[in-house]
Amino acid sequence: MAVISERIATPLPGKTNLTISRAKALAAIIQRAGGLARVFKAAYGEGAGNIHLYASFKDFTHAAHSATVASQDPEMAAWQAARDAEPSSHMKGPYIYRTMYGKAAAKPGIMQREYTISRGNLAGALALMPELQAVVGDNPIEAIVPTVAPHMDSLGIAYYFDSL
């Protein structure tokens, strides 16, 4: 079970490039601290134009260790100071999720869907994941559930593709 953290930045007008640059800098800090990180810009749907930073960790122990290491990195202090001195976006998160099926793939095209589902129906929905995988063929999928997020009654599914 992997642990995923998500940060979502909504750029202020004229600040998209600075927001992307800062997200990439934070991703580098997370990677030095032992996580895997990826930055992308949402192209469609709710939140189009938002900048997303996802980090993944082997488990909660590794996630906590990485957070501790990152918090002690001098570049993290500089990143926070720059963000405070010149805000470029409205930041949400980090939200924390755990993987229930599949795993993230290093593919350029990602479609994410979030479904509202009661915890009582979660096992049944997860039982359908092999069937969903058969529908999308060789394209990887990943199912996640929230641990710390604004919508705790959800199931997120990411579909990974070679192109949009």
pLDDT at 164 over 80: no
Query: Tens digit of pLDDT for each residue in 4-34?
Result: 999 999 999 999 999 999 999 999 999 999 9
- Cα 120 to the center of its chain, rounded Å: 25
Question: Which residue range is the domain that position 77 belongs to?
Answer: 3-161
pLDDT at 128 over 80: yes
Query: Tens digit of pLDDT for each residue in 65-93?
Result: 999 999 999 999 999 999 999 999 999 99
Can you give the CATH number for the domain in which 107 is found? 3.30.70.100
From 29, 164, 16, 159, select the one nearest 94 (Cα to Cα). Answer: 29
Query: Tens digit of pLDDT for each residue in 98-111?
Result: 999 999 888 888 99
CA dist 69 and 114 (Å) reads 31
CA dist 95 and 30 (Å) reads 15
Q: How many domains is the chain partitioned into structurally?
A: 1
Buried-exposed string 62-86: b where 16+ CB fall within 10 A, e elsewhere: bbebbbebbeeeeebeebeeebeee
- Residue 58 binned pLDDT confidence (cut-offs 50, 70, 90): very high
Tokens describing residue 132 = 């969903």
Q: Which residue has the tokens 């192109």?
A: 163
